[in-house]
């Protein structure tokens, strides 16, 4: 993929005398006071590993994944091995199931305390917590932050776009195969696994390093960025009615509040010498209040 990107970008980088570099992780980037950082994280955080915790009477316990069929499941739901006439296996018995840890552990206890929002959740609640997401959000904040004492310091900004909301989730873990939602234990290693992003957790990670704005829905973001004017320009230049309809339908799908328009969220992070947002919604456009 790096080779493909390099080949695709080569004409532009050569023309503009730009340099492209690829990094395996954010901690390979060194913040520079004299350089503006613009970072875009699109469907990045939803793919990071997470821990599933359950609040019990004695504290937070981790929910693990055990191999083999679930002994608590009805017999009819348990996977079996069936062989064809030639003796070949045509259905695999390799299944997994969730199991609750017998007692609170060090990791589950620490993660249960990692956000003040988890404290008042009732017993029985489950939360999906990603310390990897927290760490990456902190590194983004450090890349963007500015030193108020240095007039030469240039703050940066970031745009984080992902599925999720401004809250913690406990049951969003899901798998996709061939553009369809499937069981998370279906064909392990061959499906796209994802969880909803807890944007409030990312904002807590940024903390006093940078200022967070939002999140707002994709529909609100695109409408405030004047998607309709863009659609009108594209349809005006379209060669036929079929192409016009294609453009209009695609735009409607993006802002549909019963689908992508509300499922996708946009969060802005700005490194600023004044961590509190400036007054007036227009100064935070398009993340200002409605």
- pLDDT grade, residue 72 (50/70/90)? confident
Average pLDDT over residues 259-281: 78
The beta strand positions in 43-198, using DSSP E, are 51-56, 59-67, 82-83, 89-91, 96-100, 126-129, 157-165, 174-177, 180-182, 192-194, 197-198
Between 217 and 71, the higher pLDDT residue: 217
DSSP 284: G
Average pLDDT over residues 95-103: 92
pLDDT at 57: 96
Which residues, including other chains, have CB under 8 Å from residue 205's CB and lie 6 or more apart?
Answer: 133, 134, 135, 137, 138, 141
pLDDT at 93: 46
Average pLDDT value over all residues in the chain: 87
Q: Is the pLDDT of residue 211 over 50?
A: yes
Domain ranges of the chain: 1-12+20-49+130-290
pLDDT at 287: 86
Q: Helix H segments across 66-130? A: 106-112
Q: Do residues 166 and 48 make contact, with C-beta atoms less than 8 angstroms apart?
A: no
Tell me the pLDDT tens digit for each residue of 221-259.
999 999 999 999 999 999 899 999 999 999 999 999 999
pTM: 0.86
pLDDT at 228: 96
Average pLDDT over residues 35-61: 95
**In angstroms, rounded to a whole number, what is the distance separating the alpha carbons of residues 289 and 282?**
9
Could you tell me which CATH number the domain at 1-12+20-49+130-290 has?
Answer: 3.40.50.12710
């Amino acid at each position: 993929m790096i080779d493909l990107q390099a080949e695709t970008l080569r004409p532009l980088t050569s023309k503009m005398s730009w340099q492209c570099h690829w990094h395996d992780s954010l901690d390979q980037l060194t913040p520079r006071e004299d350089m503006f950082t613009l970072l875009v994280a699109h469907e990045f955080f939803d793919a990071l590993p997470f821990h599933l915790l359950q609040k019990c009477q004695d504290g937070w316990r981790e929910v693990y994944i055990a191999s083999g069929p679930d002994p608590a499941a009805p017999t009819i739901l348990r996977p079996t091995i069936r062989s064809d006439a030639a003796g070949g296996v045509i259905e695999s018995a390799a299944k997994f199931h969730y199991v609750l840890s017998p007692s609170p552990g060090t990791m589950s206890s620490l993660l249960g305390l990692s956000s003040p929002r988890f404290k008042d959740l009732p017993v029985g609640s489950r939360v999906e917590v990603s310390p990897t997401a927290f760490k990456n959000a902190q590194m983004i904040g450090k890349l963007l932050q500015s030193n108020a004492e240095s007039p030469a310091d240039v703050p940066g900004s970031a745009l984080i776009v992902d599925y999720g909301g401004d809250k913690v989730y406990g049951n969003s873990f899901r798998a996709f195969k061939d553009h369809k939602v499937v069981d998370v234990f279906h064909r392990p290693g061959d499906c796209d696994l994802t969880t909803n992003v807890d944007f409030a957790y990312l904002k807590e990670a940024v903390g006093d390093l940078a200022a967070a704005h939002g999140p707002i829905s994709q529909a609100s973001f695109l409408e405030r960025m004047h998607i309709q004017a863009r659609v009108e320009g594209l349809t005006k230049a379209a060669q036929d009615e079929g192409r016009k309809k294609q453009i209009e339908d695609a735009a409607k799908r993006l802002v549909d509040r019963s689908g992508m328009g509300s499922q996708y969220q946009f969060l802005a992070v700005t490194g600023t010498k004044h961590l509190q947002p400036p007054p007036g919604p227009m100064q935070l456009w398009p993340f200002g209040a409605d």
